[in-house]
Homo-oligomer: A and B are copies of this chain.
Amino acid sequence: MIFKQLFETETSTYSYLLGCERTQRAILIDPVASELDDYIDLLNSLNLKLIYTLETHVHADHITGSGLLRQKLGSKSVVHRDAGAMCADLLVTDGVPLQVGDLELEVRHTPGHTNGCVSYVMADRVFTGDALLIGGSGRTDFQQGDAGQLYDSITGKLFTLPPDTLVYPGHDYNGNTVSTIKQEMAKNTRLGGGKSREEFIAILQDLKLAYPKFIDKALPANQSCGLIAQG
């Protein structure tokens, strides 16, 4: 299997390329529009055909490359049905299995950062988007965010994975690339060490974060798979 963690520096966004060498088919998780040419070069150099792009959610800080990749490569876009991105080709729900070649993933609905957030579990690893970050979590003060719901998602849907499961998040602002479920259960500053739901909610409420500078442009664009409506 081919596995690459890709980093977009302007918004500190992680995307992931998963490739099945036997069938030469690939998945991209959370592609960023500005990196389109790099993705195509990478896929070509590895002789991979892109089948699906998987969105963990509708992003507020960057524009998805899913629509452009569909136009260029014919790939199909996957998102949770609650995300409000009717531009997508497959709308999924909790527990749905997806397969591309020998790559097998399972959708886990992990709302709270947004109501349409999912994580994708693949064998020994999980792609958590902006639900669970390394040492932290997504914020919950916009896009139907709900701190209590995010606590329930992380503790109920992610912390129940095997402890050694590798955690690959949608962002990191501190140079971290990977963690484990065990490590987050112990050390995450917002819910590690057995912090309660009430403590988590209080921490999220006290963050006092600035309004995301790009959100008013990014949300409508991402609900159109990153393609600006014509006309």
Whether B89 lies near A76 (C-beta < 8 A) is no
Specify which of B51, B76, B81, B96 is in contact with A76 (CB 8 Å cutoff).
Answer: B96
Most B C-beta atoms less than 10 A away, residue of A74, A89, A101: A89
- Residue A201 CB within 8 A of the other chain: no
The distance in angstroms between the C-alpha atoms of A96 and B100, with both chains bound, is 12
- Residue A202 CB within 8 A of the other chain: no
Min Cβ gap A25→B in Å is 9
Whether A96 lies near B91 (C-beta < 8 A) is no
Chain B residues whose C-beta falls within 8 Å of the C-beta of A90 in the assembled complex: 90-93, 96
Min Cβ gap A81→B in Å is 6
Min Cβ gap A62→B in Å is 25
Min Cβ gap A48→B in Å is 15
- Residue A95 CB within 8 A of the other chain: yes
Chain B residues whose C-beta falls within 8 Å of the C-beta of A89 in the assembled complex: 92-93, 95-96
Contact with B along A66-97 (1 / 0, CB 8 A): 00000000101000010000000111110111
- Residue A11 CB within 8 A of the other chain: no
Contact with B along A86-114 (1 / 0, CB 8 A): 00011111011101110000000000000
Chain B residues whose C-beta falls within 8 Å of the C-beta of A97 in the assembled complex: 51, 76
Min Cβ gap A45→B in Å is 23
Nearest B-chain residue to A93, judged by Cβ: B89
Contact with B along A216-231 (1 / 0, CB 8 A): 0000000000000000
Chain B residues whose C-beta falls within 8 Å of the C-beta of A91 in the assembled complex: 81, 90-91
Chain B residues whose C-beta falls within 8 Å of the C-beta of A92 in the assembled complex: 89-90
The distance in angstroms between the C-alpha atoms of A92 and B79, with both chains bound, is 11
Min Cβ gap A34→B in Å is 26
Min Cβ gap A165→B in Å is 21
Chain B residues whose C-beta falls within 8 Å of the C-beta of A101 in the assembled complex: 99
Min Cβ gap A19→B in Å is 15
Chain B residues whose C-beta falls within 8 Å of the C-beta of A96 in the assembled complex: 76, 89-90
Q: Which 4 pairs across A and B sit closest by C-beta, in order of nearness? A: A91-B91, A99-B99, A89-B93, A89-B96
Beyond the given pairs A76-B97, A99-B100, 16 more chain A to chain B contacts, judged by CB atoms under 8 angstroms and listed by A's residue number, are A51-B97, A74-B95, A76-B95, A76-B96, A81-B91, A89-B92, A89-B93, A89-B95, A89-B96, A90-B90, A90-B92, A90-B93, A90-B96, A91-B91, A99-B99, A99-B101
